[in-house]
Amino acid sequence: MRVLVVGSGGREHALAWKLKKSPRVQKVYCAPGNAGIAQEAECVPIAAEDIDALVDFARQEKIDLTVVGPEAPLNLGIVDAFTAAGLSIFGPMQKAARLEGSKVFAKQIMEKYRIPTAESRSFTDVEEALVYLREKGAPIVVKADGLAAGKGVVVAATLAEAEDAVRRMLLEKEFGAAGSRIIIEEYLQGEEVTVLAFTDGEAIIPMASSQDHKAAYDGDKGPNTGGMGAYSPAPVLTKELLAQVEKEILQPTIAGLRAEGIIYKGVLYAGLMITEKGPKVLEYNVRFGDPECQVILPRLKTDLCTIMLAVINNDLANTTIEWYDHHAACVVMASGGYPLSYQKGKIITGLNEAAKLQDVYIFHAGTAKEGDKFVTSGGRVLGITAWGGKLTDALDKAYQAVKLINFAGAHYRRDIGQKALRRQNSIRNLP
Ligand code: AMP
Ligand code: GLY
């Protein structure tokens, strides 16, 4: 089979890497890809949002399977366009992708189908929003309705911070149209966990659990980022809790959408808070997480290509998905300044030495080639991923590799996985 991966980050590198290992796959393309992805796939200079050009390319190159990494093309309707052109593609249709594209829509589905989530209200009017804020008090959470590259959520510790967020979104249009409607939501306390699942709109198979580290600095300090590291499995998600998540969240979400006439196919990402009253949905994403994908795929034993075809062909109920027992960890090395402004073009050294380590793989998130050198070209630059029998083995190997790699201004968290290690000492029996 000839496969096309759409996107250019660490997640897409992991997808291309895994798909290339499939005995069913002869050739992998990636659009637009990055310098690291070029080691696994032929990169083609077509933007992930240029749907017409991607359809033309897939037709010309007789692509048998297209896999979409990021949310933007899904929300633009890439799956609808490929399907209309008779091309096979993995991911949800535009209507289904609204689950991530509009937080208001996601909340409506959760309310209608009684899926546990934070209490919330939506607003377009500043004054009404401010009145509601004052009534509720802080801490409280303000969210832009639309896609804002992970930056449209403000967890406000004080009323002043929340009021400021409301004004920036509704008055100053900081997120453009994505913030012309907002949600004000109850602050939930607990531990976060990500549950991803494959679904063909009927059958749902959860993947190995994982946990992202969203804050920029150690101890969950600093601004939120796309994700500074991850590990899998996540010990907070016991088998019992996963069963509860399937019954109370995953199944009613997919069944609720179906009742609305929306067949959801692809990966459903449920960002959850495990509260004292049980798991509650913080957000849905309609794709693999980044960097969660980088720790999940190395643990996947079953052929990814076969799973994706089963999803497309409504045959997931007849598919068994197996995982390796090992633990995986990913440490993201980011550009100095990220998630705020940062410089590009810094030379990266040590990649060859790090690549020689066993059970380590370096996924490139934002790199380019200048001559024969790799240079930085994004906020998140590399996802150093390792695996081993225990989480400590995976973390030791990942950090060993991180120490070999250098670029000016590089920063990374030194506490990836620590929360899991604290918990793991008390809990066994993980999915
Ligand atoms: P989201 O993009 O909705 O997942 O929000 C980004 C991050 O903000 C989440 O990963 C949480 O850490 C935090 N967050 C979002 N909603 C809430 C909430 N209702 N209560 C507490 N923290 C939240
Ligand atoms: N790591 C969070 C996300 O992919 O949205």
- For ligand 2, atom 3, which residue shows the shortest CA distance? 289
- Going from N- to C-terminal start, the domains of the chain cover 2-93, 125-180, 191-318, 327-428
Q: Is residue 198's pLDDT more than 80?
A: yes
Question: What is the Å distance from ligand 1's center to 315 Cα?
Answer: 34
Q: Is residue 428's pLDDT more than 70?
A: no
Ligand nearest to the CA of 138: 1
Question: What is the Å distance from ligand 2's center to 12 Cα?
Answer: 13
Question: For residue 148, what pLDDT band results from cuts at 50, 70 and 90?
Answer: confident
User: Among the listed ranges 114-123, 220-229, 364-373, which one has the minimum average pLDDT value?
Assistant: 220-229
Q: Is residue 429's pLDDT more than 70?
A: no
| Residue range 163-168: mean pLDDT, rounded | 94
- pLDDT at residue 431, as a whole number: 54
- pLDDT at residue 183, as a whole number: 94
- pLDDT at residue 270, as a whole number: 97
Structurally, at CATH architecture level, domain 191-318 sits in 2-Layer Sandwich (3.30)
- pLDDT at residue 17, as a whole number: 98
Does ligand 2 come within 6 angstroms of the Cβ of 100? Answer: no
Closest ligand 2 atom to Cα of 283: 5
- Tell whether domain 327-428 is in CATH 3.20.20.100: no
Ligand nearest to the CA of 210: 2
Better-scored residue on pLDDT, 308 or 191: 308
Does ligand 2 come within 6 angstroms of the Cβ of 212? Answer: yes
- What string of H, E and C letters represents the secondary structure of the chain? CEEEEEECCHHHHHHHHHHHCCCCCCEEEEEECCCCHHHCCEECCCCCCCHHHHHHHHHHCCCCEEEECCHHHHHHCHHHHHHHCCCCEECCCHHHHHHHHCHHHHHHHHHHCCCCECCEEEECCHHHHHHHHHHHCCCEEEEECCCCCCCCEEEECCHHHHHHHHHHHHCCCCCHHHHCCEEEEECCCCEEEEEEEEECCCCEEECCCEEECCEEEHHHEEEECCCCEEEECCCCCCHHHHHHHHHHHHHHHHHHHHHCCCCCCEEEEEEEEEECCEEEEEEEECCCCCCHHHHHHHHECCCHHHHHHHHHCCCHHHCCCCECCCEEEEEEEECCCCCCCCCCCCECECHHHHHCCCCEEEEECCEEEECCEEEECCCEEEEEEEEECCHHHHHHHHHHHHHHCECCCCECCCCCCHHHHHHHCCCCCCC
Does ligand 2 come within 6 angstroms of the Cβ of 9? Answer: no
Structurally, at CATH architecture level, domain 125-180 sits in 2-Layer Sandwich (3.30)
227-270 confidence digits (pLDDT tens): 999 999 999 899 999 999 999 999 999 999 999 999 999 999 99
Closest ligand 2 atom to Cα of 150: 5
Q: Is residue 150's pLDDT more than 80?
A: no
Question: For residue 152, what pLDDT band results from cuts at 50, 70 and 90?
Answer: confident
Question: What is the Å distance from ligand 1's center to 33 Cα?
Answer: 29
36-84 confidence digits (pLDDT tens): 999 999 999 999 999 999 999 999 999 999 999 999 999 999 999 999 9
- pLDDT at residue 174, as a whole number: 87
Question: For residue 213, what pLDDT band results from cuts at 50, 70 and 90?
Answer: very high
Question: What is the Å distance from ligand 2's center to 286 Cα?
Answer: 10
Question: What is the Å distance from ligand 1's center to 403 Cα?
Answer: 31
- For ligand 2, atom 2, which residue shows the shortest CA distance? 289
Q: Is residue 430's pLDDT more than 60?
A: no
CATH of 2-93, one of 3.10.350.10, 3.40.50.20, 2.40.50.140, 3.40.190.10: 3.40.50.20
Question: For residue 337, what pLDDT band results from cuts at 50, 70 and 90?
Answer: very high
- pLDDT at residue 175, as a whole number: 87
- pLDDT at residue 151, as a whole number: 76
Q: Is residue 342's pLDDT more than 80?
A: yes
Ligand 1-lining residues (CB < 6 angstroms): 118, 141, 143, 153, 155, 185-188, 192, 214, 224, 271, 282-283
Question: What is the Å distance from ligand 2's center to 293 Cα?
Answer: 9
271-326 confidence digits (pLDDT tens): 999 999 999 999 999 999 999 999 999 999 999 999 999 999 999 999 999 999 99
Question: What is the Å distance from ligand 2's center to 200 Cα?
Answer: 21
